[in-house]
Structure 1
Amino acid sequence: MSEWWTYTLSDFLMFSPRTYWRLVELYNRDFWPLHLPLLAAGLAALWLTATRRTHAFRWVAFGLSAIWLWVGWAFLWERYATINWAAQYVALAFAVQAVLLAGMGLMRKHTAASPGPAALGLGGLLAVAGLLYPLWGLAAGRPWEQAETFGMAPEPTAPLTLGLLLLSGRPASRTGRALLFPIPLLCLLLGAATAWTFVN
């Protein structure tokens, strides 16, 4: 029996990259053209956040809450969990994130403080990365049918959410906002770990 330190991430992957991308392709086919209004919603959320209008963050939070709930159910729970048992726990984390976002949207006090230069730069970069995420798949040689888009898949949804949170300044309180960051960050780490196993 091999020692535990000889294992790599790929040893724990219970499916092949081909199986995963086929699952994404079938998922996209089942729900096309829902991708287009969801991408439009992502652009609208970015615009609302950038304009810093009264109650803008409230509506962005509600919209993101619905999207996190949708991705958690439609992709993670209904599809990804059929090839990866751990996805059901990630789906539950997505539901928790949806509740946190909705709770933040319901809070009455939302300050309109502008983000600092670092938050502005990083937030803008993450938001754009989330919207343009499908292009990474094309650059890797995958067809459009296997594209992962905001509002449909976890990996592009997480960076756009983080970007919007950073660009929104300080809604409600720093403590309240801090609760919204761990799950999207964990999502990005899990996605990066899975992508790493696909190429190694």
Structure 2
Amino acid sequence: MSEWWTYSTEDFLLFSSRTYWRLIERHNEALWPAHVLLLLLGAAILLWLIRPRPWSHRAIAGTLAVLWAWLAWSFLWERYATINWAASYVAPLFALQAILLALIGSRLRWSLSWTGRALAGLALFLYALVLHPLAALLVGRPLRGAEVFGITPDPTAIATIGLVMVADGRWSWLLLAGPMAWCLASWATLHSMGAPEQWVLLGATLVALVPVARRRAARPASAEHP
């Protein structure tokens, strides 16, 4: 019997790379042309960040909540669970993220400021919305296998991290736990398949640690100066 340290991440993968990307293609084919609507919705979120309205904070939080709940059912439960049994256990966590976005997100101030953290978040959001779908072409996969914001979890998690970094308000850091956990899990999967997109997911997770670290560093100062 082989020793445990001789195993690699590929040995624990439950499906082939071809099976995974074919699942993405089938998911896209089933939902087209919803992609156009979701890209327009992403553009609307960007407009609400730049020119916020009295109702836009609740609109952004509500939109993200609906998308996470939608992905829990449409992708994880209905699609991904057919090739990965663990997806059925992750789906409730996506639903929990949707609830947190509805409860906490509606109380945040979702508007763009010109701070380093907010600009980094904006860059992540724009990447997830515009560039991540094009990654399929860059690595030689057909466009029908593109991962689109609101259609598949990876760009949605990256976009959510970016938007939470732009938002301001108490407990906003709690909204990072779900997308960060998914990015790490997806990074492990893509790493096993040798997919180049893996590094974006890992990078998004590391960027998300910045506001958490700053919040922890600010606690002693706030305690000294009530």
The normalised TM-score by structure 2 is: 0.80
Match of 1:181 among 165, 176, 181: 176
Q: Check 1:43–1:111 CA distance in 2 against 1; reply closer, same or farther (3 A cut).
A: closer
Task: Report the AA paired with residue 134 of structure 2.
Answer: L
Q: Post-superposition shift, 1:106?
A: 4.5
Q: Post-superposition shift, 1:136?
A: 1.1
Q: Post-superposition shift, 1:104?
A: 2.0
User: Are 2:59 and 1:64 equivalent residues in the alignment?
Assistant: no
Task: Report the AA paired with residue 62 of structure 1.
Answer: G
Q: Which runs of 5+ in 1 are unaligned?
A: none
Q: Which residue pairs with 2:154 in the alignment?
A: 155
| Structure 1 residues 26-175: aligned runs within 5 Å | 26-107=26-107, 110-111=108-109, 115=113, 117-131=115-129, 132-168=131-167, 170-171=168-169, 173=170
- Give the structure with the higher percent helix: 2
Cα pair 1:50 1:167 within 8 Å, conserved: no
CA distance, structure 2, for counterparts of residue 182 and residue 75 of structure 1 = 20
CA distance, structure 2, for counterparts of residue 29 and residue 112 of structure 1 = 33
Q: Percent identity?
A: 44
The normalised TM-score by structure 1 is: 0.90
Q: Post-superposition shift, 1:8?
A: 1.3
Q: Which residue pairs with 2:16 in the alignment?
A: 16
CA distance, structure 2, for counterparts of residue 20 and residue 73 of structure 1 = 18
Cα pair 2:158 2:183 within 8 Å, conserved: yes
SS in 2 for 1:180: helix
Q: Post-superposition shift, 1:103?
A: 0.8
Cα pair 2:110 2:166 within 8 Å, conserved: no
Task: Report the AA paired with residue 95 of structure 1.
Answer: A
Q: Which runs of 4+ in 1 moved over 3 A?
A: 110-116
SS in 1 for 2:175: coil
Q: Check 1:74–1:112 CA distance in 2 against 1; reply closer, same or farther (3 A cut).
A: closer
Cα pair 1:59 1:105 within 8 Å, conserved: no
Cα pair 1:120 1:166 within 8 Å, conserved: yes
CA distance, structure 1, for counterparts of residue 54 and residue 97 of structure 2 = 23
CA distance, structure 2, for counterparts of residue 180 and residue 141 of structure 1 = 34
Q: Post-superposition shift, 1:115?
A: 4.6
Q: Which runs of 5+ in 2 are unaligned?
A: 196-226
SS in 1 for 2:161: helix
SS in 2 for 1:136: helix
Aligned-residue Cα RMSD (Å) equals: 1.8
Q: Check 1:45–1:111 CA distance in 2 against 1; reply closer, same or farther (3 A cut).
A: closer
CA distance, structure 2, for counterparts of residue 39 and residue 96 of structure 1 = 24
Q: Check 1:113–1:128 CA distance in 2 against 1; reply closer, same or farther (3 A cut).
A: closer
